[in-house]
Amino acid sequence: MNLAFDTNLAHHYTSNSQIAKLLSENWVLNNSYCPSCGEIPLNEFENNRPVADFYCNKCSEEYELKSKKGKLSNIIPDGAFSTMIERINAENNPNFFFLTYTKTGQSVTFSLFPNNFSHLK
């Protein structure tokens, strides 16, 4: 697993939020696998699909990526946490990936918050 972003991809972008999204999604595509069944790689939904960002061809699990610069403890704003837990616990909602990275993108931390803990064995 590569723990840094491929920042070469960002040369044509000037928006920090666009760069963060591009590098985060690229990192997941290249470094992750389906936590539910182990399938490699995950597949990316087309842009702007509202429900989830990635899916597994094999077991059809869906994953939503949340990425943020900084520490994992800062990734969920106050007030949004209970809403997110409700979504996680609801039927047919995606699992969440949390990706945090340092300012320069040289170090990435990746966590999974499954929608159903029985998926983890």
Under the rule (CB under 5 A), what is the footprint of Zn ion?
Answer: 34, 36-37, 39, 56, 58-59
Rounded distance between C-alpha atoms, residue 65 and residue 75, angstroms: 12
- Closest approach of Cβ 85 to Zn ion, in Å? 23
**Minimum distance from residue 112 beta carbon to Zn ion (Å):** 12
* Closer of 40 and 73 to Zn ion (Cβ): 40
Q: In this complex, which beta carbon is closest to Zn ion, that of residue 36 or of residue 67?
A: 36
Q: How far is it, in rounded angstroms, from Cα 89 to Cα 85?
A: 6
Tracing tokens 């040369």 back to the chain, one arrives at 11
In whole angstroms, give the CA distance from residue 44 to residue 46. Answer: 6
Which residue lies nearer to Zn ion by CB, 39 or 44? Answer: 39
Residue 24 burial (CB count, 10 A): 24
- Cβ 18 to Zn ion shortest distance, Å: 29
Instruction: Tell me whether residue 23 or residue 62 sits nearer to Zn ion (CB atom).
Output: 62
Q: Are strands 108-113 and 54-55 parallel, antiparallel or unpaired?
A: unpaired
